Amino acid sequence: MEILDYDIVILGSGIAGLTAAIHASNATDKKAKIAIVTKLHAMRSHSVAAEGGISGVLYPEVTNDSLDLHAYDTIKGSDYLADQDAVELLVKNAPKEVEFFDHIGVSWNRNEKAQIEQRAFGGMSIPRTAFAADKTGFFMMRALYDEVVNLENVSIFHENFAYSLLLDENHFVGLSVMDLATGSLRIFHAKAGIIATGGASRMYDFTTTSHSSTGDGQALVYKAGLPLKDMEFVQFHPTALVPNGILITEAARGEGGYLTNSKGERFMALYAKKQMELAPRDIVSRAIITEIRAGRGLREELSGLEYIHLDLRHLGKNVIDEKLPMIREIAQKSLNIDPVEEPLPVRPAAHFTMGGIHTDLYGRVMADEDKTIVDGLWAIGECGCVSVHGSNRLGSNSLSQCAVWGRIAGNEIADYLKKTADAPKLRKEIVNAESLKISAILDKKGSVNPYFIKSELQKTMGEFVYVYRTKNDLFNAKRRISELKKMFNDIYLADKGKLFNTNLRDVLEIDNLLDLAEAVTLCALNRNESRGAHAIAEYPNRDDTNWLKHSIVYKTKEGVGIGYKPVTITRWKPQPRIY
Ligand SMILES: Cc1cc2nc3c(=O)[nH]c(=O)nc-3n(C[C@H](O)[C@H](O)[C@H](O)COP(=O)(O)OP(=O)(O)OC[C@H]3O[C@@H](n4cnc5c(N)ncnc54)[C@H](O)[C@@H]3O)c2cc1C
């Protein structure tokens, strides 16, 4: 097994990982030797698919916006589960990050005064989402990638799949990685590491996320015995195209799109009188499912999926072409529907994981509820749960989170290196054990097709752990996941080769998804209240007396353990959420 020594290893090359690499490099005067490890080509990271934009208060004197208002909207949107110190850090730093991306070459849409244009997003009191048409993620990634490839101290290892997080006692030691092209194994042994592996929504079948969003970073941490936080909160985006699940950005409603049921009614008036289609995503998704259950949906014949309409026709061709060109192209190419002429069929799809790796305010990975920090390890972006989104994220707050904590982690890690002479030693036993892990999987001689397990898992999550849950649903999901986990021990691999063994990669991802789906389900089963994206029939209301707390879930030898941790409240006392 090859051992590669670095100062810093960053796992993930999305907006969070690449931003962290730039800031870590700058903060060490380009002296730190940095490796970025990514299972895709870096530019295929899921962040390129981000559409609608990035939040930040840019021109308060013109718009009457303020940092407090951005914080309030975010906290209210989170159904008061966000840690308010983290939200304050987000909103304070987000404007600087939009400016940073402006400097590195993102071509923002601009108004007639050449100011960066901002559009409305759900749950925001004021339009504060900066955007580059409906391809914001692509433009941000392109600018970041151009910067990173020019840094001589940073090397990118494309198509390298990490399969273990290496810890010694409470210290980060490195990562075990398989080079997908050759199948050869290597350990990145480093003084410090950042995990930035994105979300886990691929535990669902109907999802807006790319096939690579399999929660590997969260699973590596969880398998290493470290805790995850708030896993029961999976965001279902209200408007995914039926039947393929491709996202129709919230910006379509931000620009004025309507949601209508089979009777042609703008039903959001019943659920969020004031903000209508621009209520937060949890509320709009519940409204859509309620309409469908009341028989006011439509049905797509082939898939059997029920949907409602997103109507953009009144915006006109010019607005659609200028502000939403990609979604027009997607609808035309994938469904042969032109939103200029016809409404789009949409329903809620798994979109974002609010929960993730339990970190402190600065993105440092925690080893327990709130006392012990893992030495030398950070988790940022969608895989980390610093808890700015609580139980429901507001759209466009994720890209700002990736940028803000990308910089924070980059700077923090530079400080950490000043105090850290050497990486913890890589013990021989660790190397030996890691070199055997992959061959043990390749040698499996069972009878179960792993893709059957994946599709059953996705079906189970879609059926039982969707927008509305019941205790019975969750018990069913728990039982089924546990059966699937048993079946996983008896899989076979059709491809036992070394070169680009995507079968092996998929199996590693399925293993990760099984663990995370179990964590989501068990945390959901334990939470006896409805809050944000967790709506459970038996407990339809939020219960601040008993449940204003984060779930902390971890693996033990005896099974899965669940603990709780208080929410940090600074200035905004929980209130009823009316939109
Ligand atoms: C369609 C869509 C549109 C969106 N639009 C917006 C928007 O407009 N605004 C907004 O704020 N949010 C948006 N979001 C959410 C936002 O895009 C994501 O939360 C964000 O891009 C995540 O970035 P990231 O850097 O954390 O991870 P990602 O961009 O997902 O990158 C993950 C990285 O980790 C690597 N990786 C993962 N596992 C491994 C492994 N085992 N080994 C090696 N490498 C690994 C991958 O190769 C990749 O480089 C959108 C989400 C979707 C699904």
45 CB near ligand 1 (under 6 Å): yes
Distance CA 143, CA 137 (A): 10
CATH number assigned to the domain covering 437-546: 1.20.58.100
**Which residues in the chain are classed under CATH 1.20.58.100?**
437-546
**Which residues in the chain are classed under CATH 3.50.50.60?**
2-233+352-428
Any idea which residues carry the catalytic annotation? Answer: 237, 253
Residue 377's DSSP bridge partners are 193
**Which residues in the chain are classed under CATH 3.90.700.10?**
238-348
Distance from the alpha carbon of residue 49 to the mean position of ligand 1, in angstroms: 8
208 CB near ligand 1 (under 6 Å): yes
Helix axes 316-323, 325-335, angle to 10 degrees: 100
Nearest CA to ligand 1 atom 30: 198
Tell me which of 23, 36, 47, 55 to substitute to probe ligand 1's pocket, judged by most ligand atoms within 8 Å of the beta carbon: 47
Helix axes 502-526, 471-488, angle to 10 degrees: 150
Which residue intervals of 65-111 are DSSP H helices?
67-77, 84-103
- Name the CATH superfamily, with its identifier, for domain 2-233+352-428: FAD/NAD(P)-binding domain (3.50.50.60)
* 71 close to 91: Cβ distance less than 8 angstroms: yes
Tell me which of 142, 244, 324, 382 to substitute to probe ligand 1's pocket, judged by most ligand atoms within 8 Å of the beta carbon: 382
Question: What phi and psi, each to the nearest 5 degrees, are found at residue 161?
Answer: -100, 120
Tell me which of 41, 45, 178, 237 to substitute to probe ligand 1's pocket, judged by most ligand atoms within 8 Å of the beta carbon: 45
207 CB near ligand 1 (under 6 Å): no
Query: Strand, helix or coil at 542?
Result: coil
11 CB near ligand 1 (under 6 Å): yes
53 CB near ligand 1 (under 6 Å): yes
Residue 370's pLDDT is 87
216 CB near ligand 1 (under 6 Å): yes
Tell me which of 197, 327, 354, 380 to substitute to probe ligand 1's pocket, judged by most ligand atoms within 8 Å of the beta carbon: 197
**What is the full per-residue pLDDT of the chain (579 aa) written as tens digits?**
999 999 999 999 999 999 999 999 999 999 999 999 999 999 999 999 999 999 999 999 999 999 999 999 999 999 999 999 999 999 999 999 999 999 999 999 999 999 999 999 999 999 999 999 999 999 999 999 999 999 999 999 999 999 999 999 899 999 999 999 999 999 999 999 999 999 999 999 999 999 999 999 999 999 999 999 999 999 999 999 999 999 999 999 999 999 999 999 999 999 999 999 999 999 999 999 999 999 999 999 999 999 999 999 999 999 999 999 999 999 999 999 999 999 999 999 999 999 999 999 999 999 999 889 999 999 999 999 999 999 999 999 999 999 999 999 999 999 999 998 788 899 999 999 999 999 999 999 999 999 999 999 999 999 999 999 999 999 999 999 999 999 999 999 999 999 999 999 999 999 999 999 999 999 999 999 999 999 999 999 999 999 999 999 999 988 999 999 999 999 999 999 999
Distance CA 312, CA 319 (A): 10
Nearest CA to ligand 1 atom 27: 198
Angle at 262 (CA atoms; ends 260, 264), nearest 5 degrees: 50
Q: What is the dihedral of CA 69, 74, 80, 81, to 10 degrees?
A: -150
Distance CA 231, CA 218 (A): 10
Question: What phi and psi, each to the nearest 5 degrees, are found at residue 377?
Answer: -135, 130
Nearest CA to ligand 1 atom 6: 50
196 CB near ligand 1 (under 6 Å): yes
Distance from the alpha carbon of residue 196 to the mean position of ligand 1, in angstroms: 9
521 CB near ligand 1 (under 6 Å): no
Distance from the alpha carbon of residue 14 to the mean position of ligand 1, in angstroms: 6
Residue 421's pLDDT is 79
215 CB near ligand 1 (under 6 Å): no
Locate the ligand 1 atom nearest the alpha carbon of residue 16 and give its number.
25
512 CB near ligand 1 (under 6 Å): no
Which fold does the domain 238-348 belong to in CATH?
Flavocytochrome C3; Chain A, domain 1 (3.90.700)
Distance from the alpha carbon of residue 352 to the mean position of ligand 1, in angstroms: 9
Distance from the alpha carbon of residue 48 to the mean position of ligand 1, in angstroms: 8
* 30 close to 2: Cβ distance less than 8 angstroms: no
348 CB near ligand 1 (under 6 Å): no
The string of pLDDT tens digits covering residues 316-354 is 999 999 999 999 999 999 999 999 999 999 999 999 999
The helix (H) or strand (E) run that includes residue 287 is: helix 281-293
166 CB near ligand 1 (under 6 Å): no
Distance from the alpha carbon of residue 66 to the mean position of ligand 1, in angstroms: 28
